[in-house]
């Protein structure tokens, strides 16, 4: 509350995120110590200036908890805490039970005002004055014996300007004077504190598309990938048999690279042509295993035209014979050349050894 009064963000104005500490202490029903409720009242005061409202579930639950702690006479353990509760609950009057609780609290405060116009001491009186302002009323209108809360504070003020002039402890005088400043200006704590927006929470992809997590199926991963991908059709084709229509979708959804020409759908969609296998000229007879375990085919009998097609022509036989002769001559020449080279090397080596000896 002090940071927000100085216009310092409780989220990131200092090293500690104090709003997070408050929210983290929420157990689903109330803040902090379950045996206390003053921490819940002050948590509400902070959250209402930190971007939270009656629409937040955490606020609704805490309000219900605080309302349950109000006593039959309309108070929350005395004037001070009752005045704090009034300030915290007034902006949340649209929630069920809040208006009735505020009326009971106002009745309690009116009955607690003393004959001197005050509420016991300067500390309590200043809190009561803030509650009266939160209820939309003028503290000066609350009088007993013609004395108002302001006149009570004036009687407590010393010549140096500080309140609680008879208190021997300087720190008490500082606190009393600090409390009196917003009260005499008819300002509540929610008016003194500056407002800070609640940081935006990250939005999931399915929230952007209006789909909640309970509606996601086993195909949600693919659907999300398709949104993120520039070519969703490719993902679909990865697990299905492509068709011409699918291929056209791929071509239309994928942009060609710079300088690259886009092929027409028919070029990609058309299946490759494969030559049909040629049928054998003759029928294959029944197979039988050989001695080595291989499979031999019985030589079919050839007569007439089929025999003429398989037998080689005379010029083919002559060419084969001539080729065999050439190979034989070349082999002899090669062997002779290799032999001559080896003999020359041996002769040169012997001559070299003779000269050395």
Q: Please report which residue ranges of the chain form alpha helices under DSSP H.
A: 2-5, 18-24, 38-48, 57-67, 79-89, 98-112, 122-134, 149-156, 170-184, 189-192, 205-208, 220-228, 232-237, 244-253, 265-269, 305-310, 314-356
Q: Please report which residue ranges of 28-169 form alpha helices under DSSP H.
A: 38-48, 57-67, 79-89, 98-112, 122-134, 149-156
Rounded CA Rg of the chain:
51
Measured CA to CA, the distance from residue 77 to residue 129 in angstroms comes to 17
Per-residue confidence (pLDDT) for residue 225, from 0 to 100: 36
Q: What is the location of CATH 1.50.10.20 in the chain?
A: 2-192
Distant-in-sequence contacts of 266-274, Cβ < 8 A, 24+ apart: 269/243, 269/244, 270/244
- Cα 235–237–243 angle (5° rounding)? 155
Q: Domain 2-192 carries which CATH code?
A: 1.50.10.20
135 class by beta-carbon count within 10 Å (0-12 exposed, 13-18 middle, 19+ buried): middle
Per-residue confidence (pLDDT) for residue 340, from 0 to 100: 72
Comparing CA positions, the residue from 67, 193, 82, 68 lying closest to residue 128 is 82
From first to last of the 357 residues of the chain, give the pLDDT tens digit: 999 999 999 999 999 999 999 999 999 999 999 999 999 999 999 999 999 999 999 999 999 999 999 999 999 999 999 999 999 999 999 999 999 999 999 999 999 999 999 999 999 999 999 999 999 999 999 999 999 999 999 999 999 999 999 998 999 999 999 999 999 999 999 999 999 999 887 665 555 555 554 444 333 333 333 333 333 333 333 334 444 554 454 445 444 455 554 444 443 344 444 444 444 444 434 444 444 444 344 444 444 444 444 444 455 656 666 666 776 667 667 666 767 777 777 777 777 776 666
Measured CA to CA, the distance from residue 269 to residue 66 in angstroms comes to 71
Q: Other CB atoms closer than 10 Å to residue 293's CB: what's the count?
A: 6
23 class by beta-carbon count within 10 Å (0-12 exposed, 13-18 middle, 19+ buried): middle
Spatial contact of 116 and 147, defined as CB atoms under 8 Å apart: yes
Per-residue confidence (pLDDT) for residue 67, from 0 to 100: 98
Sequence length of the chain is 357
Measured CA to CA, the distance from residue 239 to residue 170 in angstroms comes to 81
């Amino acid at each position: 509350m002090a940071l927000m009064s100085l216009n310092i963000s409780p989220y990131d104005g200092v090293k500690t995120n104090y709003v997070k500490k408050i929210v983290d202490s929420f157990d689903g029903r109330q803040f902090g110590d379950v045996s206390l409720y003053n921490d819940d009242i002050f948590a509400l005061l902070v959250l209402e200036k930190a971007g939270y409202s009656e629409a937040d579930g955490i606020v609704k639950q805490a309000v219900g908890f605080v309302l349950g702690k109000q006593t039959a006479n309309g108070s929350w353990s005395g004037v001070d805490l009752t005045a704090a509760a009034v300030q915290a609950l007034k902006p949340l009057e649209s929630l069920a039970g809040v208006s009735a609780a505020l009326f009971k609290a106002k009745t309690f405060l009116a009955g607690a005002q003393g004959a001197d116009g005050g509420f016991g001491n300067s500390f309590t009186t200043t809190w009561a004055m803030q509650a009266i302002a939160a209820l939309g009323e003028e503290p000066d209108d609350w009088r007993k014996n013609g004395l108002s809360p302001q006149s009570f504070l004036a009687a407590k003020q010393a010549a140096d300007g500080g309140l609680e002039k008879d208190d021997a402890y300087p720190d008490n005088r500082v606190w009393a004077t600090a409390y009196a400043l917003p009260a005499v200006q008819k300002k509540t704590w929610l008016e003194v504190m500056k407002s800070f927006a609640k940081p935006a929470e990250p939005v999931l992809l399915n929230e952007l598309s209006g789909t909640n997590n309970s509606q996601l199926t086993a195909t949600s991963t693919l659907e999300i990938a398709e949104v993120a991908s520039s070519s969703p059709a490719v993902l679909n084709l990865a697990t299905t048999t492509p068709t011409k229509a699918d291929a056209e979708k791929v071509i239309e959804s994928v942009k060609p690279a710079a300088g690259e020409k886009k092929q027409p759908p028919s070029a990609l969609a058309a299946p490759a042509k494969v030559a049909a296998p040629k049928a054998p000229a003759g029928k294959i007879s029944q197979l039988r295993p050989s001695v080595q375990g291989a499979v031999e085919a019985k030589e079919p009998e050839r007569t007439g035209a089929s025999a003429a097609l398989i037998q080689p022509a005379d010029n083919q036989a002559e060419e084969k014979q001539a080729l065999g002769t050439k190979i034989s001559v070349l082999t002899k020449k090669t062997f002779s050349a290799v032999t001559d080279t080896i003999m020359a090397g041996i002769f040169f080596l012997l001559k070299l050894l003779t000269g050395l000896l």
